[in-house]
Amino acid sequence: MTAIALELKNLGVRFGGFRAVDGVSLQVTEGELRVLLGANGAGKTTLMDLISGKTRSTQGQVLLRGKDITNWPEYRVARAGIGRKFQIPSVFRELTVRQNLCVAATREPSILRNLRWGFGRAEQSGVDEILALVGLQDLQHRQAADLSHGQTQWLELGLLTAQKPQVILLDEPTAGMTQAETRKTAQILMALRGRQTILVVEHDMAFVRDIAERITVLHLGKVLAEGSVAEIERDPKVRQAYLGSHGIAAPC
């Protein structure tokens, strides 16, 4: 039986009289790539905020490999093994691509000490692997500030991977990307599938079709449906609330 990496039990948050997330329960297994789908206001980003500790829940639990991390401070959630990538990338712009990954791969908290003392052979080998994964080998000595939008997003994916989190949360990773960049991002996530547990919020329906193993659809803060791409497309409740008559292949 596959182990459960991330489990939500009746998770919810109320802002005044408004239930932004209302009793959400789901299980994401080890190595799974799960997509969260839903219209604007469905509660997707708020759910990510609850998991990562950015927002405190008013009901329910968040379990990371069985450990209750509900309402832990954001830094403790990150240390426990939840890595999150936001729509706006956060990298060390003054460092090169390779230096960014080296800093992320080491446990030494001081950036200056890392750069002064250098990195071990095992860390360098791991950085080489991540550079290949995100397709930035030819740009490894370029300053991060000089990267394109898509390249910066791939670097941040690499930074998350280098930190070896137990679960990665991605909030609209293809926002602002060209079609070619979106396709490459799909390839990167497919390469990560099975070795990382990933939860993705995304609006690009073609991208969802390319990467999704299992989809959870949120509507008005609740789980509306869950299943494969084909099952979600056939679900009449999902069509009525979100997809319309064209299915997941339709542009959003």
Give the pLDDT of residue 101. 93
Distance CA 112, CA 220 (A): 46
Domain residue ranges in the chain: 1-81+167-176+185-252, 92-164
The continuous run of DSSP H or E covering 11 comes out as: strand 4-15
Residue 7: φ, ψ to 5°? -135, 135
Q: What is the pTM of this model?
A: 0.88
- Measure the CA–CA gap between 167 and 209, rounded to whole angstroms: 21
Q: How confident is the model at residue 125 (pLDDT cuts 50, 70, 90)?
A: confident
Q: Answer yes or no: is pLDDT of 117 > 50.
A: no
Q: How many of the other CB atoms lie within 10 Å of CB of 7?
A: 18
Q: What percent of the chain has pLDDT over 70?
A: 88
Q: What is the topology classification, in CATH, of domain 1-81+167-176+185-252?
A: Rossmann fold (3.40.50)
CA distance linking residue 184 with residue 134, whole number of Å: 9
83, β-bridge pairs: 168
pLDDT digits (tens, 9 = 90+) for 185-230: 999 999 999 999 999 998 788 899 899 889 999 999 999 999 999 9
23 close to 222: Cβ distance less than 8 angstroms: yes
Q: Which two tokens stand for residue 172?
A: 């609209």
32-84 pLDDT, tens digit per residue, is: 999 999 888 899 999 999 999 999 999 999 999 999 999 999 999 999 999 99
* Mean pLDDT, all residues of the chain: 88
pLDDT at residue 124, rounded to an integer: 78
Give DSSP secondary structure letters for 193-242. BTTBEEEEE---HHHHHHH-SEEEEEETTEEEEEE-HHHHHH-HHHIIII
Distances (CA, A) of 211 to 64, 118, 184, 206, 247: 23, 37, 11, 9, 16
Of the candidates 86, 17, 6, 91, the residue with the CA atom closest to the CA atom of residue 51? 6
